[in-house]
Structure 1
Amino acid sequence: MPPFPIRNPAPTTPAPAAEPDNAPLLLSVLGPLSARHDGRDLPLGPPRRRALLALLLIRPGRVVPTELLIEELWGEEPPRQAVATLQSHVSHLRRALQPASGPDRPSMLRHRAPGYVLELPPEQIDGCRFERLVAEGRRLLERRDPLAARDRLGAALALWRGSPYAEFDGHPPLCDESSRLEHVRLAAVEASAEARLALGAAQEVAADLDREARRHPARERLVGHLMTALSRLGRQAEALEAYERTRVHLDEEFGVGTAAELRRVRTAILRQEPGTCGPTAGSHTARPEPAGPALGAPVIGVAKADDGERTRRTEARPPVRAAQEPARPEASGGAGTAGAEPGGPFTAAARCHDSRRHGAGSAEGGATGSAAAGGAGAPRVTAGPGHTCRPVTTAEDSPSSMADSPESARPARDAETPKNGTIRETLKPGAQSPFTGRSEELQRLTAAAASALAGHGHVAGVLGPAGVGKTRLLLELVPRLEAACAGQDDADRKCAGLEVIWSHCFLSEGVPPYWLWTQILRRLSTTRPDAFRDAVKPFGTLLAPLMPEHAAGPGRPAPEPDWGQARFLTHDAVCEVLLALATQHPLVLLMEDLHWADTASLDLLRLLSTRSQGHPLGIVLTAREHEVGSDATLRRILAEVLRGPRTETLRLGGLSRNAVAAIVAAQAGPGVDAKVVEVLHRRSEGNPYFVMQLLSLLADARSLRRPDAVGVLLTRIPTGAREALRQRFAALPETVLRVLRLCAVIGTEVDTDLLDCTATEDEPVAEALESAIRAGLLGEDPHRPEGLHFAHALVQETLIDELSREDRQRLHARVAEGLCARRPRLVEDEEIERVAHHAWQAKGALPIADTLPLLLRAAEQAEQQLAYEQVETWLRRAVHLVGLLPPDDPSTASLDRRLHIQLGQVLATTRGYGHSEAETALARGRALSEVTHSPEDPSVLWALCASHLVTGRYDDSRPFSGLLRDLAERSGQPVAVLGAAYAEGIVLHVRGQLPQALTELEHGVAMADGYAREGHSLARTFQHDPRVSCRSYDTFTHWLMGDRKTATARRRELLGLTEYDSRPSDRSFALYVDAVVAAWEGDVRTAHSSGAEGARLADEHGLLYWKAMLATLEGWGLTHSGRVDDGLTLMNSSLAELRNSRTHLRRPLHLGLLGQAQHRAGRTEDAKTTFHALLAAVAQRGEHVYLHPELPATRLLHDLLGRGAAEAAAAG
């Protein structure tokens, strides 16, 4: 029974089902920590071990450093052997959880430098399942589906068995997580109540919420639901009692009153209004949303809604734009923006006290009180005319405020001001997205505005591109100004009565002159009616251009002085009014989007900035820097305004990678791969708006953990970003756009020389580039005089995306032709890949006969650079084009044959001969030999023979080796001679016929050395240096026959042959042989070092086959070096990869090594299981050599299973 029970609202709500016997692992944290699998509880051990599991559980899928785990487990008193003790706990936990992983699968608790990671699906953790259900329920409620929302939220709350991590009160991270989950639970309780009230289940809501409301009296939304339910049941007295409890609690604990919404419910109850309007699902429809991007605009103020410190904040929301105006990216971003926030009707602490105390509503609504009504020291924040303040909702309060995931209820950065008045950063729960990466700018802006409040006057400008976070910075400034005022002593409160006023410029038809200032004056006439009336009285009709209501009456014609003089007098009157009001109570004017300001408004700003010196009036303005640079008048006036001694200019650039990571963590929680953050940062250039737009590509923020997350972020353009960029493109002339599209096709870095070669006569390159730079779409490279680059990857991608397929191909064709015509010699050299790229992209506009040679030359160059993945890409593209050629052309089949053979050989190199696609490509190439009447290609025969050997089809490989032998006898081709000897030597070796194998292999070694002396280069057709291949099994055979001296000499030869200028695959093979023999001889250090070096090399070059082979030896070395868990995990995962790639060659050898390692680790039963698998593999494929008595694994197998088992397998 949970401590705060919530009854399921209806029988349709799913209750926890009985667990089936074969149920997967379920880790439960919503109550006492437990692990359950196959119907039974798994033993998790003593408290410290349970705490370790809990610390990993709060970061699922995320590597937790060893040092951090030690610190969180033992604090300041770690044990003497802390690392060893931690490893011991990890080992026991792995053993406890192993039944859920399966015998042949790696443990879910893995070592990954620099620590450990718990890898399991989120649905196997009841806490993750709980949060998913809560998020789904809240989304359903937002979509007006209370029935489905009730069921989903009920299912979530049914999972709650008690306080999460309650047993770990000595571990701060777990206490924080417990508090976070409790916030999510309370949000779910409130949302469930809202859904059930919408369905008429007032009785259930009243019964469920009574105890919750008593335990959490500061949760005003919860209390409001309870009051509504009680009122609908006719229990008005109890509803009013609940209200009184909350009112008293808020007053005594925080010194504040209840929110307007809760008071409205109380008033409705007192008036006995029918269907008391509590917070129901339908209540959201009455509140209009501001225009803007889909992600919503940020709001100021997030406060705790429970028993913690209570913060009072005022919302300073910018006014809504005209309906016809396009959405502005800044509206949704600062350094980390919140999601769309329709809001719930009850907040816990955030208030819009201006609308309550000062009557800040629409201008037409009139004033409801004087400036003094709010108290002399009450700071005020007001928006533009016609827009009322709205309550600020927290993550606990709004069904949609969690951005589709309760993860956003995690702590986020907020500001807290201690008594000394200094501002420091702390963590506040419930914030939607952190304000991050702008602390220095915010500190400078706060200091500038604060100096204005002290009577010095100050002007600050915040400049930057669209979406960079200018508005968000101002939103964060306001509460800090309030806090600075609140922190002053009563005797020194120079900023008593501070008022902050927002105004905006608009890009829209019909906006009158001075609209920027009209908003300010009308707001002041509303918030300070008496003082405003006195201030404007001396100026008569001079304010009429800004406020038509001050125009002359119908019987009094206005004087007609000189127009210039009249405008100056109007400006002077506005300045006098503002300075007079600022003298009474300090003013801070937040003036946004000055790049859209009219000239008259800019002239007035210039005058006021001069006149404000020595007055408690601060001005903070924002503008898009590139638009300032392209408008001479705006540039000149802002330069004058921002050049004085009491001015500050802030230029905002993109956020750092760490700041983007903080936004991602706030949206998706911990555990998101660093590659995802890197892609987000690179594609967004740190622009917060674009970061949030890219995140919107994934339906759920948790999808950032999906394997394909990077691919989605790299290949798709967010709708909001696309539309914002389209609006910017629309402002450019078509000729400029044509040049920009050509730049986009050329690449992210714009080659201006190539652009000049490629552009047509009617495409003015110089003028277009200058316009694009002024528009902020292109940027100059300071390190290259003629270098240009796109300001943002999304700019380039959107330009390309706007092109039709035909236009895109046509432009790529022009670029390819321009590259070839510009520097023909370089096309043979470093630019071939670039030319091939454009030729491929222009495949519909260029003849295939012209494109194919370019692709093949690019593939050849990539092979020379050992870039095998690129080779594969170019060959696949060439195969595609060949498929478009006329099939009856004889040259088509010949080229198709050649390409399939090359592709099969590359796939064999990178993925192993056992890879099915490699064998298929090779087989098709051989089949086409008959069509083209081509002779047998010994390299193809060898590759197909190797494919059969690697997949364990030894008998089936012999027909191919026989054909190679026949071909060798007829033609003496080196590949045929070596392939026949090597293939037969391998088969004889695995069958245990070692003397016969040695004869073939020694012949192969001698022939390979001879061909090398004659200058034959066979590595490409043989896929290995044959000197390396033949020496490999020759080394194994000598060792098994007891000739250790020759085996040692061969090992040295292998390492010497591949030490310099060898192919990565040859070096990997040599290191593999060295590591295997070292393991047979018990040389742990060499086995580990050679295995690790080879695995690293193979990984660098994409050689998946060799990486798995060598990692098996590396794991053996780790296990025998004492790192048992790491070693066994690596061995198991490597063997699984080999099995998945159909690689059976040397599998019994590897199983023998695994059995040894398991026995060394004390896992005897596991070792027995492995040796049984070894015997089965030997019996199935006749690989008798791996039961040779010289092998250490064979001796151990006899000890564990008895000689009879081995003899039976050998006989089979």
Structure 2
Amino acid sequence: MRFDLLGPFNVVHDGRPVVLRGATQRAVLAYLLLRHNEVIATSTLLQAIWADEIPNTARKMVQNAVSGLRSTLAQRTGDTEQAMLLTHAPGYLLRVDSDQVDVARFRKLATDGRAAQAGGDGERAVTAYREALALWRGPVLADLTETGVVWPELVALEDQRIAVHEDLFGLELDRGRHHEVLPDLRPLAEANPNRERLNAQLMTALYRCGRHVDALEVYRATRASLADGLGLEPGKELRELERAILQHDETLLTRRPEPAPRPEPAPAPAPVVAPLPFTPAPVIAMHRTEPVESERKPVVAIGVALAATPDDDPEEAVEIQARLRDVVEEEAAAAGAHLPGDSGPVVLALFGLPRTDDDDAVHATRTALRILDRLSSAGIASQVGVDSGDVLVEYTTAGPGQVAGPVLDRCVRSALRAPEGRVRVSDAVREAAEPTVVHEASEDSPGWWHAVSARQKPVAEPADPGGFVGREHDLDLLGHLLGFVERGGRPHRVTVLGEPGIGKTRLLAEFAEALAEHPRIRVVDARADVVEAFAVMPGLLPQTASRLRAEGGDAALRGAATELTAYGPLVVLADDLHRADPESRDAVDRLGEACAGLPVLIVASARPGLLDTGQGERCGTTVSLSSLSDDAVGKLLDKLLPGTARLIRGRRELIARIGGNPRFAHAYAQGAHGRTTPFTALGQSATPPLVRRTLAAQLDNLPPAEKSLLKAASLTGDAFTAEDVAAVCGRDTAEVEGALSRLASLAVLRREDDEAGYTFRRATLRELVYQRIPRATRTALSRRPAVRPGLVEALA
């Protein structure tokens, strides 16, 4: 039997195609063939086949597909090979001779070719490379990819195919066969403009064919592609090749300046975790594809390890480790975490990829507690570590790829040192998750904590010594809308939108406090569960509350609202609606219709992204809380730091860093007590962790194109124009101007004037954006004329 994956998926026996029943059978067999003779966990198989949403019947569908495949394979291969497809904890194992799979034959021929080339036998290497490429009949699994299948293994195979082409072209050019390779070389290079080796080969072939202008045009196209897509300049070898062509270097006619053949990339070894003071930070290597962008990112990492395996049984250890991995993968996927792969005996999950959330520490700690509970219930002894820090991420067309950073090493160590059955968290994670998670200090490790349990309700923030500043007009607006509801006798919905910390919760609290002076007005706090919030309201008849809990529909809500509005209007407050589950958000959305003809004012607060999700579309009035003015921030600081606020050196710099966000003012004020160093000299080190988390989330909520422009803008100086930014990133000036204008409307940038252009509204955001750029990219971009001299060194 022969299995062909390098093109449309075919299974052939005795020269005749084998018919597979259904798309699931084909997908299961194809994925197992890509990793044949390897145990594949069921959870991995499910994720591969249903990448977007795994149906409830997925496991049964896979079981049926496996059963059908066993029958088909047994009929075709005879009794001696009936056990080809085996159930093997934690999933399945497809045993097959590698010679039967074209992917395996391709890789073997590629390896043979490189071995022959390394030994100096160019003729044998060319033959092996051509045989390997002849196995390809089109894009790998072309028919399955048409149905939406996108597997990293397919991208990796395509990368290997191009690498073999490069090795073959290199040998042929060395043998002077530039005319012969040009028809195959040119279309492949044009389809892959970011592969410098391939385009260097095309430049060499064109130059040797006497087409010097065309060769230089290839260089310009490659340079433009690298600049637009990655913000990078071509590498040293490509630049030297261009220079040689411009100088008509005669050595190009005989020998091409090309690096040695690239060996097949070996899998990254798992890091060795040993009780040493320092170990190298592990690099989690994914299936390799061409990176399209690199970025420094803050993440929160969970590491989960087995605490012990009974009787030191290796088979039992493998099975238990697989069950542990399944639990971690399921909980991490449900929480939206990124799974970079295992690091030795520790299974890792990362929060903050591809997008940072200011609550990543909360989500990570809650997920770690759920994982520990599930493993304990299954009788699996485990230990968990949670830590935070920066990583360097290579993004590919398939998403986050290789991830590296010291935080991964610390997380591995933390998991291995955690007591059995405990979640060990760093102090930074504890500080960020404290309002929603109960912690206790670690007796044996100062500076570390144990997460004990998730709080039913977050700890309320302490009384605000700064008072209510700068939101009086917003509070008056809510009062006017309440009067409108009472006079008209009909419901109205108000949605208060704003960035984290801008004052949404405080505005609703002030509104509720003001209403407490009017006994006729009833206030429902519907922060968590709308139905339960109505059911526990004082004065509601017991039978009405029982019906509400039992039915929970619009009719039951209307009955409760009718009773509660018997003597005056009803105000429903739904704070932080973006955190609620979809059912709760939908209940708030339907509340207005359910209360038709009743004086009900619904006030919901959320972050701006709520409307982007389609929730909150039935808003009667939308109030967007803008940043506080500098004067209002100054007054707030005077209240937070009585008697000392005006004495702080760098006060104007501090107000600029706060950027009109009340929560930022509180965070900075807390750090300013007893400080003598001026804020102007502290820079990024003076930025509280809460501010960094919030701004990181705000940055990642921007569209990728606008986020990329901010990176370019961070290199241009304190003030910049669209022309400056366009010169750094190589994009159209009019397009850049439009994007910068949108960013100004979002209060990310501030428009100064036509000549000065724009500035970052918060200096801290500019520093954070700059820090996201990898050092190699900063160095490359610093050579561009629009980058202010010395800026890279100043911000580093």
TM-score, with structure 1 as normaliser: 0.25
Higher helix share: 1
Higher strand share: 2
